[in-house]
Amino acid sequence: MELDDHAEELASDLGVDKQEVSSDLEDLLQYSVPIDEAKQSIRRKHGSGWGGGGQPESVDIAAVSTDHDNVTVTATVLTVGTRSIQYQGEEAVIREGELADESDRISYTAWQDFGFETGDELKIGNAGVREWEGAPELNLGESTSVAMADESITTDANTTLGGDRHLSALEPGDRGRNIEVQVLEAESTVIDGRDGETEIVEGVLGDESGRLPFTDWDPRSDIEADASLRVEDVYIREFRGVPSVNLTEFTQVSTLTDPVAAKSGAPRVSIADAIESGGRFDIEVVGTILDIRDGSGLIERCPECGRAIQNGQCREHGGVDGTDDLRVKAILDDGTDTVTAILDHDLTTEIYGGGLDAAREAARDAMDKEVVSQEIAQSLVGGSYRIRGKLSVDDYGANLDVTEFQPADDDPADRAQTVLDQLEQPAADGGVPPDATRGGESR
């Protein structure tokens, strides 16, 4: 096709002056822009991303890549979540969720309400492709067309239609999810939000699969401790190192007649799997304590920020008059990986067999604070423990904030596992494996 023919076609598609299109095309081609791309760009300029011969390629979802600018897909709507976000300084209400065809699933963001619902089978023309959380995502905007598909769509048998999930299956980035939960804790707080002081409710939700923290950004009275609720249209983001459930003004909450029984124990996992998942709110691991890290025993904290300090120096607040505290940072190994288990004042008191006064007295007698952590190390190192807590991973390593701590030896299954773990460890090493240092130094 000659340049003139391209211009003719574009001008007639777009209903604009052929002379103008022709000169735009020439400009673009001068900069070595390929003809198809040049035509797309002119269509965009005139507010029509597609139409006529310029309709973008129809592709299977599995074939969508960030190399595409625009695509056309035929897919089933798996989920629709609604959220209000700040976009270029303005509040925008978006729809977001997942689409699927036979080949794969893909997430989408719709910048206007196309009116489609979960289960709808659609032909989506001229969706933009952008990268989101390391994967391609479809953007449905002004120049996107949405119509009912004229063929029926088969999706993979493992694809779940709708947003219903157990808490243990939720991951940061999930949107349009529905959960049935028992409220385990709920507390109202005031934060300094983007619209000034805002009341929110924070707490913990539980179902038969586990527990997760939540934030309700539009507090409603149904959310109170012990309530059993169906909560529709929540999104999940990472907060303080673990997945967190977010309720918005678009979230619908209804009371369930059959109460949900939250699981009382935490799921038992391997340390490697927990680290791989990037953070877990409530897990149980069983392993051997290899060593006690520096900063254990009788420590001092900054009275301003609570950080552990050394020689009266806080890295944030400089010279301060520290307050005493007790803590243990133990390196726990279960044969798959290691984690730094952090025990707070109360758990440390239990293990040490005395509180701050006893620790201070021991330190005075020995004229050395280290005696406290040495004594704790003597009782813990080499032992097997079952530890429950919150695992978070940051640049400094993996930390387990311990909520429950007990010897594992009372359970034959634990003992068997511990023996197995020890067999897997390098023989005759007798010390801390090199990778034991991956535990955190961050707090």
Determine the residue with CB nearest Zn ion. Answer: 302
Give the residue with the Cβ less far from Zn ion, 301 or 438. 301
Alpha-carbon gap, residue 388 to 390, rounded angstroms:
7
Q: Which stretch binds Zn ion (CB under 5 A): 35-43, 104-112, 193-201, 317-325?
A: 317-325
Using an 8 Å Cβ cutoff, are 179 and 231 in contact? Answer: yes
Alpha-carbon gap, residue 309 to 321, rounded angstroms:
10
- At 123 the three-state DSSP class reads strand
Give the residue with the Cβ less far from Zn ion, 208 or 325. 325
Q: Which one of residues 316, 368, 394, 409 is an interface residue with Zn ion (CB under 5 A)?
A: 316
Give the residue with the Cβ less far from Zn ion, 188 or 442. 442
Q: How far is the CB of 318 from Zn ion (least distance, A)?
A: 8
Q: Determine whether 80 is exposed, middle or buried from the number of CB atoms within 10 Å of its CB (0-12, 13-18, 19+).
A: buried
Alpha-carbon distances, residue 179 vs 40, 206, 232, 308 (angstroms): 43, 10, 7, 39
Contacts of 33 (CB under 8 A, 6+ apart): 41
Encoded one letter per residue, x for contact with Zn ion by CB under 5 A and - for no contact, window 283-312 reads -------------------x-xx-------
Task: Give the total of residues touching Zn ion (CB under 5 A).
Answer: 6
Tokens of 245: 């459930």
Give the residue with the Cβ less far from Zn ion, 302 or 343. 302
Alpha-carbon distances, residue 424 vs 215, 292, 338 (angstroms): 42, 22, 14
Among 175, 156, 157, 155, which residue's Cα sits nearest to residue 165? 175
Give the residue with the Cβ less far from Zn ion, 305 or 413. 305
314 lies in the site for Zn ion, by CB under 5 A: yes
Tokens of 165: 């999930």
Give the residue with the Cβ less far from Zn ion, 321 or 429. 321
Strands 121-132 and 177-193: unpaired
Among 79, 367, 346, 390, which residue's Cα sits nearest to residue 232? 79
167 lies in the site for Zn ion, by CB under 5 A: no
Contacts of 430 (CB under 8 A, 6+ apart): none
Give the residue with the Cβ less far from Zn ion, 45 or 317. 317
Residue count (the chain) = 443
What are the helix and strand counts (H, E) for the chain? 8, 22
Tokens of 298: 């009788």
Using an 8 Å Cβ cutoff, are 285 and 332 in contact? Answer: yes
Give the residue with the Cβ less far from Zn ion, 18 or 345. 345
CA 194, 198, 203, 209 torsion: positive or negative? negative
317 lies in the site for Zn ion, by CB under 5 A: yes
Give the residue with the Cβ less far from Zn ion, 223 or 314. 314
Q: How far is the CB of 408 from Zn ion (least distance, A)?
A: 36
Q: How far is the CB of 304 from Zn ion (least distance, A)?
A: 4
Q: How far is the CB of 315 from Zn ion (least distance, A)?
A: 7
The contact set with Zn ion (CB under 5 A) reads 302, 304-305, 314, 316-317
